Amino acid sequence: MEQQLEQSLDELNVSIEHCVNQLRRARQERDEALARMVVLLKQIGAADHCNGCNRPILWVRHRNGVAAPYDSDGTPHFATCPKADQFRRKKETKRA
Ligand SMILES: [Zn+2]
């Protein structure tokens, strides 16, 4: 029984190391995916300036036909735009 416990602890140590390696790899893959997305954005995005904050943005049309503005680093512009609330409010008043 004791021997079995030691054995499973050994296995656990190996798997913790394995997990850390997996995590590092996942982070690296995520960074690479983000870098690829930024390259893709520059290729397919339509360069424009935000009407609210006047920062450079890239319009990307998604598969559902909706165009969304992105920052050059791949972040959705609504997440970083200081005037994002103003846009949402504008949209709501337009609908009403
Ligand atoms: Zn903006």
The amino acid at 70: Y
- Can you tell me whether residue 58 is helix, strand or coil? strand
Euclidean distance between CA atoms 38 and 69, whole angstroms: 13
- What are 47-81's pLDDT values in tens digits? 999 999 999 999 998 889 999 999 988 889 999 99
Distance from the alpha carbon of residue 78 to the mean position of ligand 1, in angstroms = 7
Distance from the alpha carbon of residue 36 to the mean position of ligand 1, in angstroms = 23
Q: What does the domain layout of the chain look like in residue ranges?
A: 2-95
- What are 31-42's pLDDT values in tens digits? 999 898 888 888
Q: Please list all protein residues whose beta carbon sits less than 5 angstroms from ligand 1, which is an ion.
A: 50, 52-53, 81
